Amino acid sequence: MICHEAIRAFPGFSRIVPLSAFTTWRIGGLCAALFPESPESLADIMKWIGESGVPWSMLGRGSNILAPSAGWNGVVVCLRGSLAEAAFQGETLTAGAGAALPGLAGAACSLGLKGMVFAAGIPGTLGGAVFMNAGAYGECMADIVREVSVVYPGGETRKLTRLDCGFDYRTSVFQQTPGAIYRVVLRLARGNRADLRREAADLLEKRRRSFPVTVPNAGSVFKRPEQGPPPGMLLEQCGMKGFAVGGARFSPVHANFIENTRGADSEDVLALIRAAKRRVLEMTGFQIHEEIRVLGGES
């Protein structure tokens, strides 16, 4: 199940890793991982991926990923070095896609720059947030993205404007045309430093009260259906809150979160997802779709 070709092709920055250590669900078997530290090394990897046809995925902090417990015969690409660094200049933030989103949000607030408070408690990377058009409380990445640099399988590099990114609710063009996001430019605005820090602290406290932050989970599992109520409300109405399969259960704190309570595997989580989709459709008529991604397949 291990893609040893990747290990042989890039011996300087590759290794076999347990995906459970790279995902917030703490689920997943062994996989080959590549750790580029510069745009050049990432371009070399993407050129090889395009030529070899190896299945691949970017992997940031693994906060919206379900990895197979049996392992995956593909390659995960994890950005390091300059690809995880950030610099502020005036109201502009230029950062590697591997930079941690909460850290960037905190730094922006400390500098008196507004636009990123909503991201203070989102446990992902900047690249993952752009890929998903992550958001909360009425704001999202599409509001602040100015430019995105991407390298595609085969090695082609492009710079995309915000309009090129095709942002919509929890989606972007990168979900239809996969590429490795490696640098993002954000346009922020001047604000009051004390007010921003207070707002971020209030938001983090709200998250602590509303979400199961002490148990391994991957955040919101389902997207809000078009012209429908929040998925957590639908799931609770359908009796899914607290419903469990094996070591996985829908959280008693928030029904749109699946917790790994006691050594859950990927099949436990998939069984819960399928049961929830079926029950919500039967009882409410709404079709709900995953916000999380399943590495190497569909649920």
251 closest CA partner among 229, 269, 278: 269
Report yes or no: 265 and 272 within 8 Å, Cβ to Cβ. Answer: no
Catalytic residue among 170, 183, 249, 293: 170
Catalytic residue among 14, 249, 291, 293: 291
Q: How large is the angle between the packed helices 101-110 and 193-210, nearest 10 degrees?
A: 150
DSSP state of 54: -
Measured between alpha carbons, how far is 185 from 244 in angstroms, rounded to an integer? 42
Length of the chain: 299
Q: Give residue for tokens 């993205």.
A: 145
Measured between alpha carbons, how far is 98 from 78 in angstroms, rounded to an integer? 7
Report yes or no: 59 and 33 within 8 Å, Cβ to Cβ. Answer: yes
Report yes or no: 112 and 75 within 8 Å, Cβ to Cβ. Answer: no
The SS3 assignment for 37 reads: coil
170 is a catalytic site residue: yes
91 is a catalytic site residue: no
Please calculate the CA angle 207-79-293 and round it to the nearest 5 degrees.
55
Catalytic residue among 220, 249, 266, 290: 220
220 is a catalytic site residue: yes
Measured between alpha carbons, how far is 101 from 86 in angstroms, rounded to an integer? 11
| Active centre residues (catalytic) | 170, 220, 291
